[in-house]
Amino acid sequence: MALLDEAPAPCVLYLSRINFVVLGVLVVFGFLYYVSVFCVIVPWLSYSVPGITNMGLLTLTTGLSLYCYIFCVLLDAGRPPADYQPDQERSSVLEVKRKDGAPRFCQKCNHYKPPRSHHCRKCQRCVLRMDHHCPWTNNCIGHANYRAFFLFLIYVNAALMHVVGLLAAHGLHILQTSHANRVLRTGPQAKPVQLAGGWIESVWLWAVLQAVAFMVALPLTIGLLLLLIWHVQLIMVNKTTIEYQEGVTANVTAAASGIVVAAAASFQHPYDLGLYQNMMTIFGSNPAAWLLPPLRPTSGGTSYPTKWDEGRADDGEHEARLLGF
């Protein structure tokens, strides 16, 4: 059984998604990279083996994270086909409305919703396997770009932790050198500077730049690292952020209405296939390529395997399980 529908995904660029927020993120990318390379690595480590190694690693992680970020900004998150119809015979799970048990239908888009899809009010359309709308990419994170988003979190955390480490280590180096009243090489040209020199010729200009970069990089590292940990937990159970929030809401509603907690806890997330299968569903069937940046949007998105599909094939069960949304 194929893990995903293998229909080819269109690769369309939407340049209109580049707004001031996206440009601001790109400016932060450039600022942190410039300060780390030309104000820390070059003057401090020069073009030695440690200097070249640090510059190469930082360039690699920054380039990969920037590529995945642009991927999430410009490419579509995945939209349902206009002629999509729910097929009860094909899947062992049928997502239905809570009110009347009818197949989920989007009144605004005027078509049926595939499993795990939701309507985004900001994008004003339905998104396949919608996780959330990200204001920092001015785009939704969904089926077609979720892998790129997760890889972005990995690459950008590696780059930011490298930047924070370099800035902190070089800050200590500046303090020790200044305390010993020795000449310090800093700035893009690694020129010798003195504490008593003018603003441009002194260490203070570059110290301020590095302090600003550190104050920007540190909270970004903490926030994005927490976001990465959160999405690792979601991937382990093959849930989206929306599905997690719906599960929490259902549990709270069940407790408030007096339903036995054990009954509420007995609900099983249908798309949780186990850690390895969950990762294959999201990253593809080749583990060697899981950490490689994507070349095109993830294909499929209108159907997903469930934990009941294998049992259904064995015992010939054709009755779909109904999930209320």
Q: Give residue-wise pLDDT tens across range 209-263.
A: 889 999 999 999 999 999 999 999 999 999 999 999 887 666 666 555 555 444 4
- For residues 177 and 265, the model is more confident at 177
100-131: per-residue pLDDT in tens? 566 788 888 888 888 899 999 999 999 999 99
Answer yes or no: is 26 within a domain: yes
> What confidence score (pLDDT) does residue 143 get?
93
> Is 185 within the bounds of a domain?
no
Give the chain's domain count: 1
> pTM here?
0.84
What is the reported pLDDT for 199? 47
Interatomic CA distance for residues 57 and 50, integer angstroms: 11
Confirm if 25 and 312 have CB atoms less than 8 A apart: no
Please report the pLDDT score of residue 2 as a whole number: 42
Is 198 inside a domain boundary? Answer: no
What pLDDT, on the 0 to 100 scale, is given for residue 88? 64
- Distances in Å between the Cα of 96 and the Cα atoms of 83, 263, 309, 320 are 18, 20, 18, 11
Between 173 and 151, residue with greater pLDDT: 151
Q: Is 158 exposed, middle or buried (0-12, 13-18, 19+ CB in 10 A)?
A: middle
On whether residue 129 sits in a domain, the answer given is: yes
Q: Is the pLDDT of residue 198 over 90?
A: no
Q: What sign has the CA pseudo-torsion 282, 285, 287, 289?
A: negative
In the predicted model, is pLDDT for residue 9 greater than 70? Answer: no
321 class by beta-carbon count within 10 Å (0-12 exposed, 13-18 middle, 19+ buried): middle
Residues spanned by the domain of 172: 10-85+99-180+204-318
Inside any domain, residue 14: yes
Domain annotation covers residue 140 = yes
Active site members: 134
* Average pLDDT of the segment spanning 301-306: 85
Would you say residue 92 lies in a domain?
no
| pLDDT exceeds 60 at position 137 | yes
Query: 12-37, pLDDT tens digit by residue?
Result: 677 778 899 999 999 999 999 999 99
Domain assignment present for 305: yes
Rounded to whole angstroms, the Cα distance separating 284 from 282 reads 6
